Structure 1
Amino acid sequence: MVTDEAVLSFFREQLPVLGLLPTQSNALRIDDILQEYTEPEDLMPVIRKYQQVFGVDISSINMDNYYPWKVSWFFRKWFTKKPIKQTSHPLTVRMFAESAKAGRWLYE
């Protein structure tokens, strides 16, 4: 049986660490938005490997639903409190964990 922790561990091992040094504060969490955590060039090969490791049919994933993603620049919080309006949906490890349990991609 696939667990949330197994999928989270997989993504933690496969994706580059955010920041300079791996610590608890910058470790990937299950509900972190992957578009904000890593670049698409790093995420796409991991998704293909996820398909092989967990046996999930990912053919129905439409990446146009998740990209483009607008990432806030570091100093933005000092200039405005207005949130960024996203036109795409967030992509999280939890979505991959739930899909691994079902054996197919559940979201669209």
Structure 2
Amino acid sequence: MVTDEDVLSFFRKKLPEQGTLTFKRIPLKLDDALQDYCDPDDVVYAITDFGERFDIDVSAIDCNNYYPWKVEWFFRKWFTKKPVLQTKKPLTVRMFAESAKAGRWLYD
């Protein structure tokens, strides 16, 4: 049976690791938006590999529901406290974990 940790470990291996300016590692978590975590190209390759690894039909994923994603400007937090208003849904590792358990893509 597939667990959340199996899927999280898979994505941590497939996606580039993030870090701070002081070189502190930022590990990927279940509820992190993949759009904020890494580039869209990296996400696409990871989704393709996810489909092969967990035998899920990833063609059911409608990327128009998740992209384009508004990326926050690095210095924005110094000028305003308002969060960036997203018009698209976040794509998270938890969504992939739940879909792997079900054996098909559950969202959209």
Q: TM-score range by the shorter chain?
A: over 0.9
Partner of 1:35: 35
Secondary structure class of the residue paired with 1:71: coil
Given residue 105 of structure 1, which amino acid in structure 2 is its aligned partner?
A: W
Unaligned runs of 5+ in 2: none
TM-score by length of 1: 0.92
Q: CA, structure 1 residues 22+4, in 2 after alignment: closer, same or farther (shift >3 Å)?
A: farther
Q: What whole-Å deviation, never above 9, does each CA across 1:32-56 have from its counterpart, x for those lacking one?
A: 1100001011110110000010011
Identical aligned residues as a percent: 61
The one-letter code matched in structure 2 to 1:78 is: W
Equivalent position of 2:14 in the other structure: 14
Paired residue total: 106
Q: Provide the C-alpha distance between the structure 2 equivalents of 1:69 and 1:43, rounded to a whole number of angstroms.
A: 13
Q: Give the 3-state SS of the residue equivalent to 1:59 in structure 2.
A: helix
Aligned to 2:71: 71
Question: Which runs of no fewer than 5 residues in structure 1 stay unpaired?
Answer: none
1:41-56 alignment to 2 at 5 Å? 41-56=41-56
The letter of the residue matching 1:29 is K
Moved over 4 A (4+): none
Aligned counterparts of 1:16 and 1:6: Cα–Cα separation in 2: 17
Separation of aligned partners in 2, 1:6 and 1:47: 15
CA-atom RMSD in angstroms: 1.3
